[in-house]
Structure 1
Amino acid sequence: MPSGEYLRYVALGDSQTEGLGDGDDVTGLRGWADRLAEQLAAGNPGFQYANLAVRGRLAAQVHAEQLGPALALRPDLATVVAGVNDLLRPRCDVDEVAGHLEAMFAALTAQGARVATLTFPDLARITPLARPISSRAAALNHRIRAAARRHGVVVAETSHHPVVADPRLWSQDRQHASPLGHERIAAAVAHALHLPGSCDSWTHPLPSPAVLPSGWRAAATELRWAATFLGPWIGRRLRGRSSGDGRTAKRPLLLPVETLPRGSETNAADHS
């Protein structure tokens, strides 16, 4: 379907779809879904966009809290991206996570929406401490692809391209994309949807290689990251808390894209 035929886009998901890492809670979050909406709205005055995503949500919560409101908005395009927060939990059940994603795929496509999702990169390529969840991410990606085939869902394959591990595409917390990373995700979804003007340039490496610390500097960097981001994240888990506690969707209604906040080009070091 050409982009001009999409009039109602609804995004479901967690912090990545909410836009953490692209702007902040003071100036406003932008994020890949907002960026995709901006592309869809270009030259399409009737286009409207809602973003139901809330940070910290597990796949079951996205299913329980966001699917009903999304269906009520009757989108002709929906994106469903969830599961990373589940992968980070010690007792993650990949089949259960995939089941929630597939249920959302089924309900939205049955109502006539075009649905898009994406696969997840191996987080161990971004931070070595994430190595224990690599197999879970691969298993979830496999199930996402299978569920997408069953329901005619478009998949943006962001999992295996080398550029996704470039640290410049990630914010300082290594859990959320940077503004440049959100830009690449939006381009990946646009390309998967065959939107006019889209191409595979989002898969290309950045013009110059990233300069990475080595030796004791690398070790010091890992320690600072663990103290600044990993420690507080573990603390919230132990207390049964989530960064999304008390939060609601930033854009629960379909509105013209002109009402979007313009996030500053800073890295939000806020929570997952």
Structure 2
Amino acid sequence: MSDHRPDHRPDRHHRYRRYVALGDSQTEGVGDGDDTTGLRGWADRLAERLAAANPGLGYANLAVRGRLAGQIHARQLAPALELRPDLATVVAGMNDLIRPGFDADRVAGHLEAMFAALTAAGARVATLTFPDVSRITPLARPLAPRVAVLNARIRAAARRHGVLVAETHGHPVVADPRLWSADRLHASPLGHQRIADAVAHALAVPGADDSWTAPLPPVRPHGPLDATVTELRWAATFLGPWVGRRLRGRSSGDLRTAKRPELLPVTG
């Protein structure tokens, strides 16, 4: 790990006027705020940081929870291109990954199509790799190989189109429970901040560094009984309802639209 000094190389500092975020619930901001008070999320946090270095920045967030990669491609790419972004973030695939019919090539194909269209339109594009979900919840251990395959496809597609990748996979802190909300599917406010910092680091935003990879202060570990009770409670509270929605063909994003479909000034 580096000494966390900010990257001050002026040749790497890009100026942005229009930032557009595409994605699902993480980019929408689920886990950081709520639907009553409003969601913030890593993309909002990144936009605030970008606006500090780019006065007058316009920011749009087209993300909607529950969307699969193909739905994001079909429903968000065209509106994003109409906004003529000079910066775009594209994060998709986790909702595909946790479904039985997961196809890494199909998901990567949708991501690559979005990378290609946005970069061809002149946007600088950033994405991220996914964490090893088996380290976040033991019940997700069978998904670990899928994460590895999808991350490899993301990296390859990004290389082909000059897309920047925030490598969240592999850093031990990413599995810290304090970075995740109670459902273990969405980042907590602290987790969203770490994601924003990771993307800012990949973009070489002034003042950004790799301190987002630093571990949190240690806490007393849970005993085996506590861990078992926690797993059972999580399964009953979050996993059960999620499976129920899948069986009924429903999504958490049904009837929802983007929270910020137009470019607006960044406040906060």
State TM-score, norm by structure 2.
0.94
Q: Does 1:55 align with 2:74?
A: no
Equivalent position SS for 1:116: strand
For residue 10 of structure 1, the aligned residue among 2, 20, 23 is: 20
Matched residue type, 1:256: P
Q: In structure 1, list runs of 5 or more residues that go unmatched.
A: 261-272
Deviation at 1:213?
Answer: 1.9
Measure the CA separation in 1 of the matches of 2:254 and 2:246: 12
Structure with greater contact order relative to length (CA < 8 Å, sep ≥ 6): 1
Deviations 1:172-219 (A, max 9, x none): 00000000000000000000001100000001101x213332221111
16-25 or 40-49: which moved more? Answer: 40-49
Q: Which residue of 1 aligns with 2:8?
A: none
Contact kept in structure 1, 2:53 and 2:206, CA below 8 Å: no
**1:46-65 deviation per Cα after TM superposition (whole angstroms, max 9, x unaligned):** 21000000000000000000
What is the RMSD of the two structures over their aligned residues, measured on CA atoms?
A: 0.9
Aligned to 2:7: none
Give the Cα–Cα distance (whole angstroms) in 2 for the partners of residues 63 and 183 of structure 1: 26
For the 8 Å contact 1:236–1:242, the answer to whether it is kept is yes
Secondary structure at the counterpart of residue 20 of structure 2:
strand
**Which one-letter code corresponds to 2:224 in the other structure?**
G
Residue 113 in structure 1 maps to residue 123 in structure 2: yes
Once the two structures are aligned, what percentage of the paired residues are identical?
A: 77
For 1:145, the aligned partner's letter is R
Cα distance in 2 between the residues matched to 1:211 and 1:31: 28
Q: 1:150 and 1:238 mapped to 2: Cα distance?
A: 37
Number of residue pairs matched by the alignment: 257
Matched, 1:66 2:84: no
- Corresponding residue for 1:268? none
Normalising by structure 1, report the TM-score: 0.93
- Assess if the C-alpha contact under 8 Å between 1:7 and 1:76 holds in 2: yes
The 1:82–1:210 alpha-carbon spacing in structure 2 relative to 1, beyond 3 Å, is: farther
Partner of 1:175 in structure 2?
A: 185
Q: Once superposed, which parts of structure 1, at least 4 consecutive aligned residues long, lie more than 3 Å away?
A: none
Does the alignment pair 1:164 with 2:169? Answer: no
Give 5+ residue unaligned stretches, structure 2: 1-11
Distance 2:220 2:84 in 1: 46
Alignment correspondent of 1:154: 164
Q: What CA distance in whole angstroms lies between the structure 1 residues aligned with 2:54 and 2:205?
A: 13
